[in-house]
Amino acid sequence: MALEVYWTEFSERELENIFEYYKNKVSFNVAKAITDGIYNEVLKLEQQPEMGQIEELLIKRNQDFRYLIYKIYKIIYSINYSEGKVEINDVFDTRQNPTKIERNS
């Protein structure tokens, strides 16, 4: 059974910020390629939602979070089988301080 991918407002903003950063610093084409790559990586979760590893830095939360890696980005997500969806919670630049991942998403 395929699950639906749902992006939270926070994760959508993070993806938009990534796009804007690369558009302004490099080029539109590079920005599009990176954000398209992140988006396409997430689509794999529709068929294989448990493919990502458990995010240890968020283990104390009530919800289980997993992650995928795309280039330098960690895509944080959770699975809600009862609603039939995978929720993308954050797209985190791994060059940042790892504890920053604990920010509210």
CA 16, CA 45: separation in Å to the nearest integer?
Answer: 20
Q: Which domains does the chain have, with CATH numbers?
A: 4-95 (3.30.2310.20)
Render pLDDT for 22-68 as a digit per residue (tens, 0 to 9): 999 999 999 999 999 999 999 999 999 999 999 988 888 888 999 99
Q: Is pTM, for the whole model, over 0.85?
A: yes
Sorting pLDDT into bands at 50, 70 and 90, what band is 103?
Answer: low
- Average pLDDT over every residue of 68-77: 97
| Token pair recorded at residue 51 | 């493919």
pLDDT at 59: 84
Predicted confidence (pLDDT) at residue 94 exceeds the cutoff of 60: yes
Predicted confidence (pLDDT) at residue 104 exceeds the cutoff of 60: no
- Identify the sign of the CA torsion 90, 12, 35, 3: positive
What mean pLDDT value characterizes the chain? Answer: 92
